[in-house]
């Protein structure tokens, strides 16, 4: 297997890798706890992974709940497993869920897995999901199905454009109908402050490998005391011959939660996350700096909302770099090579029309260098720069 | 966080850690691919993780299917997620599943999660699940529920005593009723040869962190072409506003399967697994050597079947070391300390009555040393040794 070195050798603007790079502490923890059941050395009564005190997994779970402003938290193998647990707990076959027309695909899969129906909330002309649109979709769903949806899933920032959607309006709308809200924080938890209780949501899901400087698969599902009764319900099944019961194992968690290298790496990264979310404004400032420089190239467009409120941005170069690509012997790869030769990677290979990139975690000087590279490549290929 | 060093400093006989220790190659792979979405550098069409060619994840999936003698394989975050995918695909609310009275608890949780009913197959007086008992339980379930069970889950070796159960008999019984069989290989896949097709099973589940020298959570779910149509079915859901479809993403896998450090470590360990399963007989021989020496101590008993067919063994020292513990100021911890001072760890701290241990992966001389330690501790505390 080839050694992976892009994080060491390049400025990596890959849209979903930026905030999942490990901290040095997480890497150390992984190395120490790489073996299979490594965290189970001191698994004592009541024999559930999230109750282990050495390493301090139990305490970490309290800290994790606090970190997202909720009462209880569990780790999960990826945000998608958090969606699955919530949907599976609240949605029976034929029940419906309201989610965004820009919602993440794994939310749809979780609904399909539970036999549920998906009702999408359209975005407005600015690409934003508003609270009013959520209310209208709930009404529409009620009329169509003859009953209210069981859940609203809401991506604070969507995965395509990373536009900020009206989470407060969505919560207000859902609460008027008494419908619980799952806050999908895959693009927020771990990079910007998230306070679930302040937002009034019932569930917060975050992605360890996307935004919490953790290895894949990892994630968090946090909830209120009320929500915990449903989603973290303990097992009731019994063996009809053996008479066995299974104690405090939780059904949706399938017993023990995230183990080994992944949980210890999450633990090791948490102090860094706590600190770095305080600097979200600086990250967004970098993002806007880049976008403004990028727009100096004649024909370059930004598909995401502007000014940027996130570091992930979808851009469109159909009228600039793609025009060069049309005539170039390497087609779109000319652009990839130009970036590569400048030590920049992470943009979809060969893409010169529409692509996503992220400036998250870059230093100010790296962002400047990145922006200059775009301008320089434009000039080299005779595109006008304003 | 404390550095974990028990694998470096001790002979570790912890029952579920022995076969999950990483290979050196797995550790190297983990270090190289620790970052969140590390394996997605070259994720091209059709945009599904198990189709990635660099690193060779796609090929690994073919190899993995072959390794367990099935047609198709997917990686899962732990064996339990494999049970969940199969049960969720085959079992509707009110349907039943036949499994062993010694079956693993996560199988019960998967059934509970799907709203299913569990019918346990009793063991015989030798602690073994026979094919006849499976047939009788299926008949009993049919009478009670008015319909046949939808699935038989069968642990080849159970997690308590690691006795070998009659998998061939179980398959024969299930097939007579036309019921598919899930082979739980958490205690076999990766340490002894497993050929699912030869056994005639429909699904094979293995645990990466338990028996495949891989970090947690990891595992494999493999199946036949027929089984794949059900359990690896692709999504059909559509966005009612966006018109989005989600391509070849698989519902039960929730899209992309095991990522990052965990998948590359599994990949790096596979060549070792292929080699080590050939030496299962030598491992079992070591296990029996230890057990025979252990039984030289007056009062020591083996709860598992004898001769041993597995390296994990449940023993009982109520009439030997526990008698010492009753009078010792440190109670059962005297035994822990005695072992610890000899560089042996992994037996439940303070346990002197019934406990589990595994000799898997120890060299011949380590097994000898381990056996001698038990005899030596017995003699030191004036227990008779035959």
Q: State how far residue B129 is from chain A, nearest Cα, in angstroms.
A: 13
Mutate to test the interface with A, among B215, B244, B271, B350 (most CBs of A within 10 A): B215
Residue of B nearest to A243 (CA): B101
Confidence of residue A269 (pLDDT cuts 50, 70, 90): very high
Q: What is the pLDDT of residues B143-152, one digit of tens each?
A: 999 999 999 9
Helix runs in A203-354, H state only? 208-211, 225-231, 260-276, 280-294, 321-327, 333-341
Residue of A nearest to B113 (CA): A251
* Helix B260-276 / helix B57-67 crossing angle, nearest 10 deg: 40
pLDDT beneath 50, residues of chain B: none
CA distances, A7 to each of A245, A345, A346, B38, B84 (Å): 48, 9, 10, 9, 35
Q: ipTM above 0.95? A: yes
CB contact under 8 A, A259 and B81: no
pLDDT for the residue B229: 98
Q: What is the pLDDT of residues A156-210, one digit of tens each?
A: 999 999 999 999 999 999 999 999 999 999 999 999 999 999 999 999 999 999 9
pLDDT for the residue A194: 98
Residues from chain A contacting residue B110 (CB–CB below 8 Å): 254
Separation between Cα atoms, residue A311 and residue B50, nearest integer Å: 28
pLDDT for the residue B15: 96
Q: What is the CATH number of domain B6-18+279-380?
A: 3.90.1150.10
CB contact under 8 A, A36 and B105: no
Residue of A nearest to B92 (CA): A93
Q: What is the pLDDT of residues A99-143, one digit of tens each?
A: 999 999 999 999 999 999 999 999 999 999 999 999 999 999 999
Beta strands in A41-198 (DSSP E): 72-76, 96-100, 117-121, 151-155, 181-184
Q: What is the pLDDT of residues B238-287, one digit of tens each?
A: 999 999 999 999 999 999 999 999 999 999 999 999 999 999 999 999 99
pLDDT for the residue B378: 98
- In the predicted model, what is the mean pLDDT of residues A347-369? 97
pLDDT for the residue A149: 98
Res A1 pLDDT > 90: no
> In CATH, what is the architecture of A33-258?
3-Layer(aba) Sandwich (3.40)
CA distances, A348 to each of A13, A136, A297, A352 (Å): 10, 37, 20, 9
Nearest to A80 among B37, B214, B254 (CB): B254
pLDDT for the residue B1: 82
Nearest to A55 among B1, B54, B252 (CB): B1
CB contact under 8 A, A240 and B120: yes
Q: State how far residue A163 is from chain B, nearest Cα, in angstroms.
A: 17
% of chain B exceeding 90 in pLDDT: 99
CATH classification of A6-18+278-380 is 3.90.1150.10, yes or no? Answer: yes
Per domain, the residue ranges of chain A are 6-18+278-380, 33-258
Residue of A nearest to B265 (CA): A34
% of chain A exceeding 90 in pLDDT: 99
% of chain A exceeding 70 in pLDDT: 100
CB contact under 8 A, A30 and B30: yes
Separation between Cα atoms, residue A300 and residue A99, nearest integer Å: 31
CB contact under 8 A, B112 and A240: no
Q: What is the pLDDT of residues B337-376, one digit of tens each?
A: 999 999 999 999 999 999 999 999 999 999 999 999 999 9
DSSP for A176-224, written as a single string:
HTT--EEEE-TTTBTTB---HHHHT-SEEEEEHHHHSS-PSS-EEEEE-
- Report the b/e string of B67-91 with b at 16+ CB within 10 A: bbbbbbbbbbbbbbbbbbbbbbbbb
CB contact under 8 A, A108 and B239: yes
């Amino acid at each position: 297997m080839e050694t992976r070195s892009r994080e060491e050798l390049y400025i990596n603007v890959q849209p979903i890798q930026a905030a999942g790079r490990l901290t040095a502490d997480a890497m150390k923890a992984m190395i120490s706890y790489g073996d299979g059941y490594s965290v189970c050395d001191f698994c004592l009564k009541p024999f559930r992974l999230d109750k282990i005190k050495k390493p301090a997994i139990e305490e970490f779970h309290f800290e994790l709940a606090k970190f997202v402003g909720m009462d209880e938290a569990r780790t999960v193998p990826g945000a998608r497993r958090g969606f699955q647990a919530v949907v599976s707990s609240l949605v029976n076959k034929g029940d419906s869920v309201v989610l965004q027309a820009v919602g993440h695909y794994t939310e749809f899969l979780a609904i399909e897995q539970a036999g549920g129906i998906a009702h999408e909330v359209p975005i407005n002309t600015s690409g934003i999901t508003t609270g009013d649109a959520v209310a209208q979709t709930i009404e529409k769903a009620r009329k169509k199905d003859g009953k209210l949806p069981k859940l609203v899933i809401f991506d604070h920032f969507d995965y395509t454009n990373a536009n900020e959607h009206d989470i407060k309006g969505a919560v207000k709308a859902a609460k008027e109908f008494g419908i619980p809200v799952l806050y999908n924080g895959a693009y927020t938890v771990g990079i910007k402050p998230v306070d679930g209780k302040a937002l009034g949501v019932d569930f917060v899901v975050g992605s360890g490998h996307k935004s919490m400087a953790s290895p894949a698969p990892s994630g968090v599902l946090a909830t209120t005391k009320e929500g915990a009764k449903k989603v973290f319900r303990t097992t009731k099944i019994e063996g009809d011959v053996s008479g066995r019961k299974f104690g405090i194992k939780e059904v949706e968690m399938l017993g023990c939660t995230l183990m080994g290298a992944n949980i210890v790496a999450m633990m090791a990264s948490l102090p860094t996350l706590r600190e770095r979310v305080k600097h979200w404004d600086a990250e967004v400032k970098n993002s806007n700096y880049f976008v403004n420089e990028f727009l100096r190239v004649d024909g370059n467009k930004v598909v995401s909302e502007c000014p940027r409120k996130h570091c992930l941005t979808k851009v469109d170069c159909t009228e600039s770099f793609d025009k060069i690509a049309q005539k170039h012997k390497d087609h779109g790869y000319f652009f990839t090579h130009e970036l590569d030769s400048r030590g920049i990677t992470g943009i979809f290979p060969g893409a010169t029309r529409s692509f996503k990139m992220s400036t998250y975690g870059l230093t100010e000087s790296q962002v400047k260098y990145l922006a200059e590279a775009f301008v320089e490549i434009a000039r080299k290929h005779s595109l006008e720069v304003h």
